[in-house]
Structure 1
Amino acid sequence: MESTGREAEPIATGVWPTAKQSVLDLFKWEQRVEIRNEYGEVRTEWQRPKPLKNPISLMMQLTGQNWLFFLCGFAAWTADAFDFHALSIQTVKFSAYYKTSNTNITTAITLTLLLRSVGAAIFGLLGDKYGRKWPMVVNMIVLGLLQICTIYAATFQQFLAVRSLFGLFMGGVYGNAIAMALENAPVDARGLMSGILQQGYSFGYVCAACANLGVGGSTESWKITFWIAAGLSIAVGLIRIAFPESQQFRDRKAAGHKSASGAVFWKESKAMLASQWKLCVYAIILMTWFNFYSHTSQDSYTTFMRTQKGLDNHDASIASILMKTGACVGGTIIGYFSQ
């Protein structure tokens, strides 16, 4: 953002005044920004977005090391998505394998997503305390092992238990992956690179659909896809060992900075909620809707194509690949414009 040097009215307080001001601001090619100086004094000014830059020139700003860190973070996020969608794309196969309904199989997806937030909080605290490297290494290797455990789950109850544990570790990937990929990237390139990185999730879906296409439609073929997913996750975890700890964490440790304990984290969270609870409620509702729309459409898309549209495994996989290829393109473009 670039400063215009023009003062703006302070950001409104209260639900309706804030909503009214935000709606009116939508029609201005400027943004109302609060600036706080070293004395705690606050003023509000208008800032305008910087002109768009050539995406190729933005990517060229990254050094070789930046690209290695980015690709490792992207691979981790892709592997995480592959692991998750290896189940959702093959729901019909699991239904036949465990001799239960597709609806019962999707219970595993529900349990995974319920525990994902818990895992995100746990690994977020571990990442702050021990750095990005080793929590991510453990996270990826355990994800791979849980994929193998899924293969050997003899009963439906064992299957649900393993997928619940999977949800805990799935939640820990995104935070460390995005930090590794973007914290060393040039600021001007972060919008574009964040858009590309986010599509690691869609790319993981495409990879899972390609694997499902390759192994065929037989009931037992889901196990091959899970072996591939396990190998990918473990490989990413082992590759992460070769990378150093993040420079930011090393600098904080050298400066004697102590990581926040769980109690301190909770205390600071309560203080934040006291002042920003309305924004938090809005963000929760917004993300709940996004996730509802996302998971109800993509997770059951292949199943929908097979059971409702009458497609076989091959054609349903092709349809899924096309759907998520579009997501990869769209997400990258929106990330670029977000800068």
Structure 2
Amino acid sequence: MATDMEKSSVDAAHNGNHGGHFIEQDHPPHHGMSPAKYIASRFSSLKPPMTPVPNPITLLRMISGRQWAFFGVAFIAWTWDAFDFFTVSLTVSDLAKTFGRSNTDITWGITLVLMFRSVGSIIFGIAADRYGRKWPFIVNNILFIILELGTGFCSTYSQFLACRALFGIAMGGLYGNAAATALEDLPEETRGLMSGILQQGYAFGYLLATAFARGLVNTTSHGWRPLFWFGAGPPVLIILWRLMLPETQTYQQHESVRRTAQTGGQSVSKTFLLEGKVALRRHWLLLTYLVLLMAGFNFMSHGSQDLYPTMLTNQFNFTANQVTVTQVVANLGAMLGGTVVGFYSQVFGRRFSIIVMSIIGGALLYPYTFVTSEAVIAAAFFEQFCVQGAWGVIPIHLMELSPGAFRTFVVGTSYQLGNLVSSASSTIESTIGERFPLPPKGTTRRYKYGNVICIFMGCVFAYVIILTLIGPEHLRRKFDVAHDADVREVAGEDIIAEAIHRRERMGMGLSDEDLEDAAEVRREREVAREREKATTQHL
């Protein structure tokens, strides 16, 4: 039988306090509000909490070596996800010449990736929440290698579209997994800063793609193809890195709850499905909102970036070197903006930070799209500072709003369904832009892409401001199972408490036999309580 220590631990679980962990629900600030009260609170809740601004160096020192390893592999994988995506955006004209198609036809390769990402996010998101973050992450990167090589060997337009569609499925599964891997184990105080840094893997990937495109595209007889072949290499190192790491502690807590429930006769899969039903029933409106919000954010990033190099070359007559410099400076602004705004969102709040960046970004649209000299480089820096500054809040904002047991699925799927809604951004801008021709340069047709980008982005910024204003926020939410109201409803307080203690005892080196003895104590006490309840009802 279990030792006295184990018995006392089970007693503590039934009293609602387990090994120092008070089992409580962690409801969002708007929990229990009527619709009228919620709407009335949208402006008042924007007031920044104004917590003291921490020293970022102190925050970075709070992160353990294991947490840095998780963050590092997630950041690099997200960076290379962005690199692979932008390989098409940066070679539109070259691909069009190879396949004998227009630039608009080639942008369908971008659109297909964005459309099919939602399929990947559903498949890999559910897999990561059910079976762990590790192996779905590795499978994602294996598919990256295969399909990036495949794109580089395409000989027809149809093959190109097919490869990019499949690539979209592979890429769709990464974002939610990367966010969970990087952020869910971090100390609460560091989340804003690290969210901003993580999201800038996107801008860093764009910067790397820009630099390597300049060095690899049209520098050999293979034209654009070496850029895609090169893109298949780094995922090998990412896979090796992830193989050396275990599961995150937060996922292990959820898995421990499911396995503890299994000792009471409920399978792990059944518990997982029950968690899904509870999440849908309690949060379906929130999930719908997150998709709509992420549609706006994806319109913001793709609308401001995907066709921008084409605008610089086609409308402004920039040389390849000028385009490269502009894109590099813009992405430096993006990385700085995401990091700074992500950090300060811990002080000013998530919604407030997004709205302020959207307002400033809207004000900068005119110089960003109408200044035809090299002075536009400064506008590009500050515009992308704002765009990616707002984006820097998103990873942790989505994590804090998502149901704990389905965090990877919700973060990834809301992001990718938003991508699906916004998937035609570059195609829309390109198609409308071709209705506003400029005098041709030789045999090259020229269009007023800047006008279209400016009007399009103005509408997008307004949309994001409105959606963010009416939406919820759950700043500094706790991620552990002890504070997860959904898991508590499915598993019950006793199982959660025992699962927490089970994890602690495993850390103390206790055997599986000892753990099963403790579970037997719990079952005996449950039977005794049921008998007592039946006796009371009979009397």
- CA distance 1:163–1:215, shift in 2 (3 Å): same
Larger Rg: 2
Alignment check: 8 A CA contact 2:74 2:182 kept: yes
Distance 1:174 1:280 in 2: 17
Aligned partner of 1:221 among 210, 220, 223: 223
- Provide the identity percentage: 39
Distance 1:176 1:142 in 2: 15
Alignment check: 8 A CA contact 1:213 1:318 kept: no
- CA distance 1:137–1:261, shift in 2 (3 Å): farther
Distance 2:32 2:92 in 1: 49
Q: Which has the higher mean CA deviation after the structures are superposed, 239-248 or 216-225?
A: 216-225
Matched, 1:189 2:193: no
Match of 1:327 in 2: 334
Match of 1:301 in 2: 308
Report the RMSD for the aligned CA atoms in angstroms.
2.4
Following superposition, the deviation at residue 209 of structure 1 comes to 0.5
- CA distance 1:231–1:271, shift in 2 (3 Å): same
**AA paired with 1:307?**
N
Distance 1:289 1:9 in 2: 23
Match of 1:243 in 2: 245
- CA distance 1:304–1:265, shift in 2 (3 Å): farther
Gaps of 5+ in 2: 1-28, 261-267, 347-539
Match of 2:175 in 1: 174
**AA paired with 2:225?**
K
Distance 2:324 2:81 in 1: 19
Q: Secondary structure at the match of 1:113?
A: helix
Q: Secondary structure at the match of 2:136?
A: helix
* TM-score in terms of structure 2 length: 0.54
- CA distance 1:260–1:337, shift in 2 (3 Å): farther
Following superposition, the deviation at residue 233 of structure 1 comes to 2.1
Q: How many residues of Structure 1 are paired with residues of Structure 2 in the alignment? A: 309
Following superposition, the deviation at residue 227 of structure 1 comes to 1.7
Distance 2:298 2:318 in 1: 26
Distance 1:301 1:11 in 2: 45
Superposition pairs of residues 36-185 of structure 1, within 5 angstroms = 48-185=49-186
Following superposition, the deviation at residue 195 of structure 1 comes to 0.7
Distance 1:74 1:64 in 2: 15
- CA distance 1:54–1:13, shift in 2 (3 Å): same
Distance 2:110 2:217 in 1: 22
**AA paired with 2:189?**
D
Match of 1:32 in 2: none
Aligned partner of 2:34 among 13, 32, 51: 13
- CA distance 1:259–1:313, shift in 2 (3 Å): farther
Gaps of 5+ in 1: 1-7, 30-47
Aligned partner of 2:282 among 263, 268, 272: 272
Distance 2:289 2:256 in 1: 38
Distance 1:246 1:73 in 2: 12
Distance 2:180 2:57 in 1: 22
Distance 1:49 1:224 in 2: 50
Superposition pairs of residues 251-270 of structure 1, within 5 angstroms = 251-255=253-257, 256=259, 258-259=268-269, 264=274, 267-270=277-280
Distance 1:250 1:91 in 2: 44
Distance 2:30 2:324 in 1: 53
Alignment check: 8 A CA contact 1:215 1:225 kept: yes
Alignment check: 8 A CA contact 1:85 1:208 kept: yes
- CA distance 1:262–1:115, shift in 2 (3 Å): farther
Distance 1:9 1:282 in 2: 15
Following superposition, the deviation at residue 325 of structure 1 comes to 1.2
